[in-house]
Amino acid sequence: MENNRIQFLDGFRFLLALWVLLAHYYTFIGGSRYFVLPKFLDDSLNKPVIAVYGFMIITGFLMTYNYFIREKKEPFEDRLTFKNFWLRRLFRLYPVYILAIIVAFITFVPCANLNRQNLIFFTGSDVSQWGTVRSVVQPTVADLISHAFMVHGLIPKFSDSLLGVAWSLSLEMQFYFLFPFLFLAVFSSPSVLKKWLFITLVCSGVVAVLSPPVFDAITSRNGLVKFVLPSILPYVMPFFLLGMIAAGVKLRKIHPIFLAVAFFVVLPFQWRVTNIVIASFFLLLFLDELEAFIPSYFYRIINSVRSALSGRLATFGADISYSMYLIHTLIIGGSIQFVIRIMPSLQGSKAAIAVAGLVITLVISIVLGYLIFRFIEKPFIAIGKRFITGQRQPQPQALDSVE
């Protein structure tokens, strides 16, 4: 079945979530000011945003894939289809998100102080490797409200002020709002498909390149805090669009030439590691289509990787990846302090403390991630399905497990 050939997204998404966790842990213990890594690892861990770009490609792919799969039950032009799409996203993401935001708001000062102590312990200073000192001042109620309504990404001083990883959720919601309209514009009518898809591709690429300096210039001229890139949709629209086009090609709704054009528009402007992530995703996604063009031994190796990313462990990882992504920065500081205070035998070795703190962070993140998925995320997904369909059973053809 076609679904089995994209099940690797489970493991791929889990690896991206682990990447973000490891990158933030490295930053919280001082990054290169504490321990200098080889350049490739340093580039990867100092740019966790690349992993988030991977999430965005997956999001664009799955939203489009499932939109096509549900076409008979939910016609593209039907207003109810729009409503159902938004409700699915709301029930899927918002309960865990608002819980994480509230906890982050309540525990902000204690967590910030713990992170400050840890930074001083590992580096001797509370200045991060980026030359900044993170605020330990309690965020305002306005900050909380902007996060609750997921508009914080549009407000420079709030974009990553309360819970750093939440900037991407604001972007996701901006994309979800536009997605039904965007899908309708580029996929609904074969007669205008080529023209509009090409225009959308080129325009999104141009806007993504030009919008950062434009918005930074506007905010600087008005005396506002500069946006923390990328906190508004134009910065990252090409990644979502790459996923959408990939789904169209995978389902044979559009010609692969559009994917080639998308690569030409997007890839030249990305970091090397970003392009490696994009290439890995597309290699796994279109491996069967490429079988005739690549050496058999290479196909077998990549297929083994794809199978490993499609197993039960990968499915478990996909289940907890969203919760783990949202909560891990709330856990890191306390985990390190636990090691420092409870395991005095490790006091002489900062490296041992760093490793022990990482292990505890991973264990707590995974356990809490599963509990949140099991008792909050999964029940609300079921409630959303019943609310939308009026029946308990899910739609079997849709990839809700990885959507």
pLDDT at 267: 87
Rounded Cα gap, residues 13 and 308, in angstroms: 13
Residue 392: band (very low, low, confident or very high) from pLDDT cuts 50, 70, 90: very low
- Residue 196 pLDDT exceeds 70: no
pLDDT at 215: 58
- What is the rounded average pLDDT of the residues 303-323? 95
Rounded Cα gap, residues 336 and 359, in angstroms: 10
Per-residue pLDDT tens for 109-141?
999 999 999 999 999 998 888 778 888 899 999
Per-residue pLDDT tens for 325-377?
999 999 999 999 999 888 776 666 889 999 999 999 999 999 999 999 999 99
Rounded Cα gap, residues 255 and 258, in angstroms: 6
Please indicate whether residue 62 or residue 393 has the higher confidence score (pLDDT).
Answer: 62
Pick from 96-100, 125-129, 205-209, 287-291: least confident: 205-209
- Residue 398 pLDDT exceeds 80: no
Residue 181 has a CB neighbour count (10 Å cut-off) of 10
Q: Provide the percentage of residues in the chain whose pLDDT is more than 70.
A: 85
What is the identity of the amino acid at 382? Answer: A
Rounded Cα gap, residues 325 and 247, in angstroms: 25
Rounded Cα gap, residues 350 and 146, in angstroms: 38
- Residue 246 pLDDT exceeds 60: yes
Residue 93: band (very low, low, confident or very high) from pLDDT cuts 50, 70, 90: very high
Burial class of residue 272, CB neighbours in 10 A (0-12, 13-18, 19+):
exposed
Residue pair 65/400 in contact (Cβ under 8 Å)? The answer is no
What is the identity of the amino acid at 238? Answer: P
Rounded Cα gap, residues 343 and 334, in angstroms: 13
pLDDT at 195: 63
pLDDT at 191: 58
**What letter would DSSP give residue 230?**
S
pLDDT at 266: 84
pLDDT at 237: 86
pLDDT at 219: 54
Per-residue pLDDT tens for 7-45?
999 999 999 999 999 999 999 999 989 988 888 888 889
Instruction: Choose among 379, 319, 368: nearest CA to 95.
Output: 379
Instruction: Choose among 224, 272, 266, 271: nearest CA to 245.
Output: 266
Residue 211: band (very low, low, confident or very high) from pLDDT cuts 50, 70, 90: low
Residue pair 163/100 in contact (Cβ under 8 Å)? The answer is yes
Instruction: Choose among 213, 264, 204: nearest CA to 239.
Output: 204
- What is the rounded average pLDDT of the residues 187-216? 66
- What is the rounded average pLDDT of the residues 254-271? 86
Pick from 111-125, 188-202, 286-300: least confident: 188-202
Per-residue pLDDT tens for 139-159?
999 999 999 999 998 887 888
pLDDT at 223: 55
pLDDT at 55: 96
Domain boundaries, the chain: 2-389
Rounded Cα gap, residues 11 and 363, in angstroms: 18
pTM of the model: 0.90
What is the identity of the amino acid at 82? Answer: F
Rounded Cα gap, residues 259 and 6, in angstroms: 17
Tell me what the pLDDT averaged over the chain comes to: 87
pLDDT at 326: 97
Residue 106: band (very low, low, confident or very high) from pLDDT cuts 50, 70, 90: very high
Instruction: Look up tokens 């608002």; give the residue.
Output: 98
Q: Provide the percentage of residues in the chain whose pLDDT is more than 90.
A: 59
DSSP string for residues in 12-52: HHHHHHHHHHHHHHHHHTTGGGT-PPPHHHHHHHT-THHHH
pLDDT at 334: 95
Is the sign of the CA dihedral 307, 6, 386, 95 positive or negative? positive
